[in-house]
Amino acid sequence: MSGAALGIEIVVQRMVLFGTLLAWYLCFLIVFILPLDVSTTIYKQCIIDHEQIPSVPAALFPFTNTTSCYKPWSYIPDGIMPVFWRVVYWTSQCLTWLLLPFMQSYARSGGFSITGKIKTALIENAIYYGTYLLIFGSLLIYVAVHPQWHLSWYELQTIGITAANTWGLFLLVLLLGYGLVEIPRSYWNGSRHGHMLIKTYFKASKLMTEKADAEENLEDVMEEVRKVSESIKYNHPLRKCVDTILRKCPVDYQEKMGRNMDDYEDFDDKQNTYPSEKSLVKLHKQVIYAVQRHNRTRVQWQILLQQAIHLEDVAKNETSSAHQFVHSFPSTEPSGWFSRYIYTPTVEWYWECFLKRWFYRLLSVIITMFSVAVVWSECTFFSTRPVLSLFAVFIQLAERDYNYLYIEMACFLTIFFLCICVYSTVFRIRVFNYYYLAPHHQTDAYSLQFSGMLFCRLTPPLCLNFLGLIHMDSAISHQQKEQTAYTSIMGSMRVLSFIANGFYIYYPMLILILCIATYFSLGTRCLNLLGFQQFMGDCEMTSDLIDEGKELIRREKRKRQRIEDGENRRRHYENRLFLVMTIDCTRSTNNALPTEAKYSRSGNRPDKDCIELLQDAEPLDFNADSLTDDPLDPDSGRHTVGRYLSMSSSRNRIFDDV
């Protein structure tokens, strides 16, 4: 790869990693710092309450709490938190609305230079940025037409923040309603090994179809690349672009195309029609997408195959009376100290066949209780007298005793659970091949940055929703209490009263409807009716795909078994050959010892010959892929064994000439 092309690739990779990690870091940083902001605000409110209430003798009112306020261990001085929240919030908003969309288009562009990539990114985001300008311009015109509205810069800023949080809350409720039900159900189903096995068969069938489509798409794109490579010769001005495209192709395709490019013929602009640079940019983009998709499906197939084999091993070992977990295909890697001394086969059997299912069921029950508490609090957090939100009750009970550690832990666990429900849904959803987070480093740059955008847009409304659940947001609870530094940065929602008093209060109640729809799998059934095959136990198509996946897994296991048997035979033949040659070397050396005095100059010759023969001995070319199931096939690997036996039968004459 040329220096310029390599430099562009490194720049793109670093941009993707830096942008995604910064977006994720800022979002998770808010989760850890917000509980400290809550405890500091409660301490300030305690000081205000004690300053307003005059000192009363304890003898007159013995049940009055006269305990003085004390600073929490995590107290943050005034002036620090507002600056911190302002930097974190506006940095995340610049990332999600400006920088990350541009970086997405830049990373996905097929340009051959930095300037070309920037130009493509600006063109693709012209409509995206134009929409922002249109909304902002309409807002300014609306304010100018109504003179009774004297909006300051602070109020305009609050309107912009409110608009962004409203969009984020709309998406937040959808994702949260799905995660509150699907996460505990996934753990409960994880304890059912039979269910997980047939679902893995179903996934194998669908993934094999996707893998075949990816391979067919890659073949078509490589055919286009071959035609372009043959038409544009080495001395053509666009040959550098073609070479850049070829470097993105798989190695085997590069070798095939390289065999036909040894002519160095001159090009003739009058006789031949050559593709333009624009078409090469489009082809470059198609190559990047096709190769990424092919590699992703190939890796996912291997991972899914391992999962299916493991689940089948669990099903077989459940009926074992030896209580020793036996793998169908033991790992070829050397076992570490953890596997030798702690996670032994006996411990593995008890965990996989007995303890794991009960652990998953217990975890599912605990998460279900948290989910019920969240749904109840989301539907009742607007009620302040009486307080119906469970999380507000817990925080207020701890506030009476000024137990700041309990307050911070309760806030952290609540926010952390909400983040798990929302962010896990972000990792689960898949919008065709447009957005998909694949494990084991198989996610493309576009999807990574899209996840960073979603995190930055979902975290601020999630934190505001949490503050509403614990009655720390006066715009929702309508209580005259000390505001957190985070709420002060968000601005007063009373500027847009219809959002503060309507949308922010009643829209989260939709979570209850979404949870019911998720519980009865209404979305899955709708997708199945539209032709997108989904896992449903009472569907005939699902049964057919399960049978097909089972056959695919069985075929792959037979293939892997043949490869393993071939490797075992090869090692056996290598050891046998080494043993035979060692014995012959020893015999020839012993026979040459009596003549050592007579031929003193060549006395060490037999040892040297043995060493050279042992070093030059190469393993037999035994390949398990060449084996066939037909024993009458003349091209099978049996003639290799016969050739070895014929050679080993005359081993007594190998060193007769020494």
pLDDT by residue (tens digit) across 82-114? 999 999 999 998 998 888 888 888 888 888 888
Which region among 2-16, 27-41, 433-447, 525-539 has the lowest average model confidence (pLDDT)? 2-16
Looking at residue 496, its pLDDT comes to: 57
Residue 264: which region, alpha, beta or left (left: phi > 0; alpha: psi -120 to 50)?
left
pLDDT tier for residue 626 given thresholds of 50, 70 and 90: very low
Residue 435 clears pLDDT 90, i.e. is over it: no
Letter string b/e over residues 539-575, b meaning 16 or more CB atoms within 10 A of that residue's CB: eeebeebbebbbebbeebbeeeeeeeebeebbeebee
Alpha-carbon distance of 177 to 174, in angstroms, equals 5
Please compute the mean of the pLDDT values over residues 308-337 and round it to a whole number: 86
Looking at residue 442, its pLDDT comes to: 82
Q: For the chain, what is the radius of gyration of the CA atoms? A: 35
Please compute the mean of the pLDDT values over residues 281-295 and round it to a whole number: 91
Is the separation of the CB atoms in 94 and 86 below 8 Å? no
Which region among 128-137, 209-218, 297-306 has the lowest average model confidence (pLDDT)? 128-137
Which region among 73-87, 343-357, 448-462, 605-619 has the lowest average model confidence (pLDDT)? 605-619
Alpha helix positions (H), 318-400: 337, 345-350, 356-380, 390-400
Which position has the higher pLDDT, 566 or 498? 566
Q: Summarize pLDDT for 458-491 with one digit per residue, the tens.
A: 999 899 889 988 988 776 666 777 888 898 887 6
Looking at residue 53, its pLDDT comes to: 61
Residue 157 clears pLDDT 80, i.e. is over it: no
Please compute the mean of the pLDDT values over residues 177-204 and round it to a whole number: 92
Q: Name residue 291's amino acid.
A: V
Distances (CA, A) of 146 to 135, 156, 259: 17, 14, 73
Looking at residue 320, its pLDDT comes to: 85
Residue 7 clears pLDDT 60, i.e. is over it: yes
Cis ω on the peptide bond leading into residue 250 (within 30° of 0)? no
Residue 259 clears pLDDT 70, i.e. is over it: no
pLDDT tier for residue 311 given thresholds of 50, 70 and 90: very high
Residue 603 clears pLDDT 50, i.e. is over it: no
Looking at residue 632, its pLDDT comes to: 37
Q: Look at the chain and count its residues.
A: 658
Which region among 39-43, 243-247, 310-314, 498-502 has the lowest average model confidence (pLDDT)? 498-502
Q: Name residue 496's amino acid.
A: L
Residue 229 clears pLDDT 70, i.e. is over it: yes
pLDDT tier for residue 3 given thresholds of 50, 70 and 90: low
Q: Summarize pLDDT for 390-434 with one digit per residue, the tens.
A: 999 999 898 888 889 999 999 999 999 999 999 998 888 877 667
Residue 641 clears pLDDT 60, i.e. is over it: no
What percent of the chain lies above the pLDDT cut of 90?
28
Alpha-carbon distance of 286 to 276, in angstroms, equals 16
Four-residue CA torsion sign, 314, 315, 317, 321: positive
Please compute the mean of the pLDDT values over residues 505-509 and round it to a whole number: 81
Please compute the mean of the pLDDT values over residues 71-91 and round it to a whole number: 89
The rounded mean pLDDT for the chain is: 79
Residue 556 clears pLDDT 80, i.e. is over it: yes
Please compute the mean of the pLDDT values over residues 538-544 and round it to a whole number: 81
Is the separation of the CB atoms in 221 and 286 below 8 Å? yes
pTM: predicted TM-score of the whole model, two decimal places = 0.78
Judge residue 141's burial from the number of C-beta atoms within 10 Å of its C-beta, 0-12 exposed, 13-18 middle, 19 or more buried. Answer: exposed
Which region among 55-64, 325-334, 516-525 has the lowest average model confidence (pLDDT)? 55-64
Most confident region among 7-11, 550-554, 588-592, 602-606 by mean pLDDT: 550-554
pLDDT tier for residue 657 given thresholds of 50, 70 and 90: very low
Residue 264 clears pLDDT 80, i.e. is over it: no
Residue 501 clears pLDDT 70, i.e. is over it: no
Nearest to 514 by CA among 182, 185, 164: 182
Which position has the higher pLDDT, 328 or 617? 328
Nearest to 214 by CA among 147, 299, 134: 299
